[in-house]
Every structure is written in C-alpha cells, then in structure tokens.
Chain A
C-alpha cells in the first residue's frame, strides 16, 4: 500500500524541484547466495533483509527494521557456510560470496526448537488476547513449527495486568522478552522507561526505576510488540483485530502528516496505526495522533440547516445562493471566503476557485493556533493544522493574499466558511456577520450560521493534504460520511451552480487535476488509484 502521492516538493511557492541530483558513485553492493538463489544487495544489508528480497521469510521476533539490532530472540538462525555455528541472520551482515542456507535440517530444527522454547510458558490466551489474528507468535508457530506441545510441567505464572503508564497495559505472561518495546522507547521517544528485571524464566518486562511508560510515542511499543503483552488502553477489548479492514490515509493531527492506516469496521474507525514512510514518519506516529479518530464520531453535522433548523440540501443551497447573490450584487467587498488549514487541498481549491469566479478578494485562511510545546524535533510539530501549507499555497496560486482571519476586513458582511473553526473572531463580531458554513462538525461558527452545509471529515473522503515539508499526501476514504454529509468540494460545486458560477467537478480526482495545473509546485503530481480496504483477516500476520 504505497500508492500515496509521495512526491517531495520544496516549500510551496518555491520553484518546482530540480531533476534529482546525478547519482554519485554507484553504492557499493555485495553478491551472495541464499538457498541456492543469487542476490545482490547494498553493502551493509543484513542476511535477513536480503532473504526477504528473495521472498524467503526467515522467522524473527526481536528484529525490527526501524530499531537497533540485538539478536536476542535467536529465532532467525541460519547456516552460513564456512561458519561452524548457526548465525542470527538479523545481525549477520551480507558478505561477498557468502553462501547461506535457511532450509537445511540444522537451522530449521534450531528455529523450530526456539519456537518451542518461546511457547513454553506462553499462556493460552488467544481467545481473549487483543493481538490474536495479527500476532507474530501465532504466525511463526503456524508457518514454521505447527507441532504438538511436549510440555508436561505447569507453566510459570506472572502478573497479568501491569499498568505501565497512562496509555499501555502489560501482561507479563504473554511477553516473549524480545525487547522491541525497550528499544522503541530508547530510539523513538529518546526516553529509557522500560527494562527487563530478574533472570531465566522469572525474567519480566517492567518500568525502569522511578519511571513509568509515559512519553508522546508510547503506543508505538504496542505496534512493535510481536505478541499481546502490550495493549493500548484506547483499543484493548474494543474490537477483534481480524475483523478490521485497513485503508491507507494520512494523520490529520498536525502538520507532520504521518502516514497511517485507518482500521475500520461497520462504518467507524477503531484505531489508527502508523504506515511506513521513510520520508515522513518512518514506522512511527505519536500517541496524540492515534486518538484523532474519536472526533470523527463527536458533534457531527449530519444534515443541512437554515437558520439553525434542519432543511434538505436543496433548500439550504437555495437559501445560501439567495443571500450570496444579493450580497455580491451590492459589493464584492461585502463577501469574504475563509479557507481552512484543516481541510484537504481539494476542498480548499474548489472554494478558492469559487471565490475567484465570484470576484471576491477577501480570502482568508483559518487555522488552529500553534502549540509551541508540542514541537520536539521528532514527529510532533507546533502547527496542529494538517494542511496549512496546502491552503496557503492554493490561495497564493490563485492570486489571493491568504490573510489570517484576524485581519477580517470591516467591509465583509457575508462570510463563506470552510470548516468549523473561525479563530480570532469574537462572538460580538460573529453576531454581525452572516455565516454560510461548510463544516463536518457542529461547533464554533456553525452554531450561528445562516446556512450550514454538512461535509465529510478527513477519513470519509478521498483527497490530499500538504504537510509542513511540502509533501502532498493522499488520503483514501475509509467509509462514507454520516447522514446527508458530502465531501466539502461537492458542497462547493452545488453552491457554485446555484450562484451561476462555472465549477463542474464530478470527482475529487478532477479537482486535483485542475489544482495541479493551477499550483506550479504541484504540476508533477498524479492521482493514485483508489485503495480498496484490506481485510486484516486475510492479510496474514503483520507483526
């Protein structure tokens, strides 16, 4: 699922990217043989990754491509010729002319036995375990061992519910001691909060002395956990993993734009998990971003309203068009248009294009204020708007000044607002304005709007957002919008037709295409194919 528009572009407004720099001397590569197949990989690649390029799945627990290698699970042992002992393939760097065997009797048996050891004290929890269905231990046992139990002694029991911190719960019995979570804390959050204690079959994962698992990236430990030892308080016991479907999207929590998968079922999202993108978020995302699916079901505007009373789309559009036509006839200066740094490029572009068609010049960009304490030099940034760069670039490309709403012109009497945020405008000022809102949520100016048109939220419509670095990234619709809501660009098109402006988009793709022609920095972008939801049940384990 790498069909996101990932063309990196410099800051909007700058010149389009030059041709990629000519490659320096070809990166050094080594050739080796794995199971009789020759493969050439970049120098420094480990044997496990080299085998994966050949489609050979070497079992492994502690290895994670985004974490330091510790080779402590011993699950990826392979035979390397001229080497008397089996080697952990995650730690073994590929050497020129190396001959590796993964299917020989010795290493196969070693890996089988290792699995047997790992299962020795593992509790019989699958039916009540949140990880069941996406568990690496289940997958590796089924694919690499699949033998009967030979244990005839009682299992060692440990603590079942250990509260590690505000976000994560640990089950010590399920833990297979791979240390992925410890390394994730050290590496991703930069905080040493987890440790192993005791030895032998009494060894447990626990918090470091005086610490608890409390950092902005703590839930990544749940993602990397190959078993159900770590579970997120937000997700545990809510939905079985194998019943979910995954749709690729982009986190709308801040201007970083972490690539995510929306895991959804029955027209609602159940969790967000990070999706690998080395240019944006690597394998990770922050805890705050993971919770951004909750507002999708809170305070939604599900039907069009006129003067606060429910109405159909047709009546609402007509009411809006009547007001706007009258206002535009009096003075172009009397009408203002507010773009949103929280809405997609397509929604913003359609509205900006409509403002252009009306001849309106008072165009503003509404955005949530920065949160400076968020910025940590990692994934979290101060700007909590997913698409400020995109909204500004669109406004500028169409010749507008893209002022903040603070500079609202005193001439403006009627305001067309995209989104439900209108910062820097107090209630007294709001009461004097005639608001026509296109919003997904019923709050802020929507409450006093003359006409409110319900729009789809970020997870419900196809579109793109532009992150702080200028990456234009694609979001796919995971499920449909609630009630009568439509994608905002579609509401704009209806409004345009009712006011006699020429704006005839039938699909977000068409808005996108028009937009790439209007914004020079985005001229090389293409619209990726629609992604169909992937049923996790048949996607195999993803540990």
Chain B
C-alpha cells in the first residue's frame, strides 16, 4: 500500500522526474515511459479544503501512494491554552473546526464544568440554547462540506444554494453571539447571553427555507449520473477499518458504525429530543454524502423540538465560582467588584484534577482533555480532533484511485485545517 521505498539516487530521480534520462532508455522503451511520477497536491490547491499537502506518487492517472502532510495551520492551540485563563480559551476553540465553532465552545465548557462538578447543574435554558446553537453549527458544517464537494465535482449550483442557506444560519448565529464566524458564545456555566428577540420566528423561517434548499440540492445530486459515478464506490472503507483507525462521525457511520456521542453518551438535553442516527452500508463517498444529508434533516428535527421545549429562565449558572456578577452589582458593591476582577484577571479557579469531555462535533467525537492545577489557567489542554484522525486514513483511501478521485475523497473526509492542525 505504501510507496515503494527508493533509496538510491538514480531511482529516486526517476521517481521525481517521472522518466529516465534519455540515454538510459533502451530502444524498446522509446515510447511512453511507465515509471512512477510524483505530483504535489496542495498546500494551496483550489480543491483542497484548508491548507494540506499531499505528495502523490502516480502511475499514469492512478494513485500508487499518497503522503499526506498536515500542519500548515498549526496554531499551538494546546500550548497557547496553558497561557490563557479557562475562559480565554473559548476564542481559541472557535478556530478549531471553524465551520462549527459553537460545538467546540460547548465541548470546552463541558470539560471544565466536569472538573468543577457543574455537569448537570447548568440552567435548563442554557442547555437548550447550547443544543440549538450546536445543531445550527452542525448544519453549517454539513452544508459547507456537501456544497464544496459538489462544486469540486462541477455542481456549482448546489454550492451556491447550500452556502446561501449556510449564510442564513450564520446571520442568525451572528444575532445570537455578535460574531458571524468566531462566536465565543458559550461560557463555563452557561452561555454568554440570552437568545435575541424574535429568535424563534427567525429560526423557524430559516429552517423552513433550509429544508427547501436541501431538497433542491438532493434533487440535483442524488440521481445525477456524474455525481454518482464520481462518488459511489470511491474511497470505500470497511466497518472494521473505520473502527481500527479510530474514525468517528459521518465517516464511521457511513461505514456502518452506529456511533453517535449524542446517543451513546448522551449529554446536555439530547435525551429530551427525538432524532435518528443515519448509518450507511458501503462506507464510500456516496454513503458519506447521504449520511450528511440525513443528519442535516435530523438536526432540523432536533431544532424544531428544541424551539418547542425550551423553557424560560436564566442562561448562566448562579454558582459564584463561574458566574460573573451583574454589571450593576460590579460597579456598586465591593464583593461583586472583587469577584469580577478575579474572574477576569486570575481566571475561574478550577480545582486540581483532570477530566475528559467529548461531544458530537461536525466531524464526530470532539474531545477535550484538561488538566487543572487549582489556578485560573489549564495546566494542560489536549484536543481529540476528529479531522486529525480521519486525515490519517486519507492515504489508504486514495490508494488505487484516479487523481481526480482524490478530490471527492478528500472533500468527504472533510478535513478542517484548524481542527486537524490544532
């Protein structure tokens, strides 16, 4: 499966140049050379999501080996977190999977809340809001993934339709959080602020339109011969391989692994809503596409239930260890002033210990492992990023396929640079 390892300079040169020197060719070899050729894909390539480089070794049009080299978007997330207070890490998590930042926010908050013993003590309304913004983020994530992949296969209309719908979500999330992309909305102990006025009507309208857009996209893609030919049977992964390589999320589910953190390790208010987990059979690109489309619909279903069930009440825990005092009190009483000062300057005091919390991210199980030493900042933070695991299978998946197939395979892996490179 791996590229043949060439050590001597001459064969290495042939591998790189893709041909022998003319004087080395025998009379019978004067025609097309059949030697392997090395082609760079990326780091900046219009059909590569994010900045990642794949060094392809090709035999004609066929990929013999691919050396996948991530790391171009490395931002020292884990090390930087050690020099920020627990609250200041939220903006860093925004930049992990930047098409679904709300889910990352929730994951980090849950890890810290676990260490503080706050799990299960977050106000109900805050939990519902977290689920709402998470599912909206999942929709933006899948719309981006499917839309971009369709575009790379020539279906430009789908891309435009889906990104239009994604923009509706972004606009709504901007109303909620104040930022279009890097929300930093969730807080340890709840969320930053309540939902804006008229949110129910806005989201309902947005969902109704999004359903139509998805149907439109499906209509253009599902029975489209070009799309099916390019997707079906391409980049297939067996269930056993998916488990062995640690794949999660839509990729593992497309291969038949029935694993969804929201169902298997329920958190927040997911037990209170009904939804199904789509599972594929073939594990190829087309199944990954179908799983994502179905998850879009399930997310919409969850959102509609949440809108019905969300209770009134506070959106932030009243625990003084994590809650900032109201501004009125901060400016007028010394107690709240000190608490405000300590929270901002020294950070929330998290008792010494270590904990792991994980959520179903856009790409699957997204986990945060946090070690606290009793001060206001993490002693160590680790992120289990699904993209990083999935990318490790890319070399296997593209093996034996045509160069053109690298694009849909890579698109359906949905490697997000920020999450993969941390």
Contacts and interface: CB of A to CB of B under 8 A. Distances in A.
Interface of A: 119, 122-124, 126-127, 132-133, 137-139, 141-143, 145-149, 151, 242, 537-538, 540
Interface residues of B, number: 22
B341 A124 contact: no
Contacts of B345: 132-133, 242, 537
Contacts of B338: 126, 137-138, 141-142
B325 interface: yes
B341 A151 contact: no
Given A149-B329, A538-B375, A538-B376, A124 B346 contact: no
Interface string B284-298: 000000000000000
Contacts of B325: 148
Contact of A146 (B334, B339, B346): B339
B349 interface: yes
A105 to B, nearest CB: 19
Interface in B308-338: 320-321, 325, 329, 331-338
B342 interface: yes
Contact of B346 (A122, A123, A147, A537): A537
Contacts of A537: 345-346
B377 interface: yes
B333 A149 contact: yes
A540 B342 contact: no
Nearest to B333: A149
Contact of B337 (A126, A139, A538, A540): A126
21 contacts: A119-B334, A122-B334, A124-B331, A124-B337, A126-B334, A126-B337, A127-B337, A127-B341, A133-B341, A133-B346, A138-B341, A141-B338, A146-B339, A147-B320, A148-B329, A148-B336, A149-B329, A149-B334, A242-B346, A537-B346, A538-B375
Residue among B346, B347, B349, B377 with most chain A CB within 10 A: B346
A149 B336 contact: yes
Interface string B344-367: 011101000000000000000000
Residue among A138, A139, A145, A242 with most chain B CB within 10 A: A138
Nearest to A140: B338
Nearest to A149: B333
Per DSSP, chain B at the interface is helix
Contacts of A138: 338, 341-342
Given A142-B349, A147-B320, A538-B377, A132 B341 contact: yes
Contacts of A126: 334, 337-338, 341
Contacts, number: 63
Nearest to A141: B338
B380 to A, nearest CB: 14
Nearest to A142: B342
A146 B339 CA distance: 7
A369 B91 CA distance: 58
A22 B335 CA distance: 54
B118 to A, nearest CB: 15
A141 B377 contact: no
Closest 3 CB pairs of A and B: A149-B333, A142-B342, A149-B335
Contacts of A151: 333
Nearest to B326: A148
Interface of B: 320-321, 325, 329, 331-339, 341-342, 345-347, 349, 375-377
B219 to A, nearest CB: 56
Contacts of B332: 124
A297 to B, nearest CB: 27
Contact of A124 (B334, B339, B349): B334
A148 B333 contact: yes
A525 B338 CA distance: 46
Given A132-B345, A142-B342, 11 more contacts: A126-B334, A126-B337, A137-B338, A138-B338, A141-B335, A142-B349, A143-B349, A146-B320, A147-B335, A537-B345, A538-B347
A132 B342 CA distance: 9
A350 to B, nearest CB: 37
Contacts of B377: 538
A146 B342 CA distance: 10
Given A138-B342, A142-B349, A148 B375 contact: no
A119 B341 contact: no
Given A138-B341, A148-B325, A149-B329, A119 B335 contact: yes
A330 to B, nearest CB: 59
A146 to B, nearest CB: 5
A176 to B, nearest CB: 12
Contacts of A143: 349
A138 B329 CA distance: 16
B347 to A, nearest CB: 8
Contacts of B334: 119, 122-124, 126, 149
B51 to A, nearest CB: 33
Contacts of B337: 124, 126-127
B339 A142 contact: yes
A540 B349 CA distance: 10
A261 B219 CA distance: 71
B324 to A, nearest CB: 12
A127 B341 CA distance: 8
Residue among B320, B335, B377 with most chain A CB within 10 A: B335
Contacts of B342: 138-139, 142
Contacts of B333: 124, 148-149, 151
Nearest to A139: B342
Residue among A133, A142, A151 with most chain B CB within 10 A: A142
B129 to A, nearest CB: 25
A134 to B, nearest CB: 10
A485 to B, nearest CB: 29
Contacts of A124: 331-334, 337
Contacts of B349: 142-143
A127 B320 CA distance: 20
Contacts of B375: 538, 540
B156 to A, nearest CB: 51
Nearest to A540: B375
A338 to B, nearest CB: 45
A277 B331 CA distance: 41
Nearest to A115: B335
A61 to B, nearest CB: 15
Contact of A538 (B329, B335, B341, B346): B346
Contacts of A139: 342
Nearest to A119: B334
Nearest to B377: A538
Nearest to B376: A538
Contacts of A122: 334
A489 B405 CA distance: 65
Contacts of B335: 119, 141, 145, 147-149
A143 B336 CA distance: 13
B374 to A, nearest CB: 9
A279 B342 CA distance: 35
B283 to A, nearest CB: 47
A132 B337 CA distance: 11
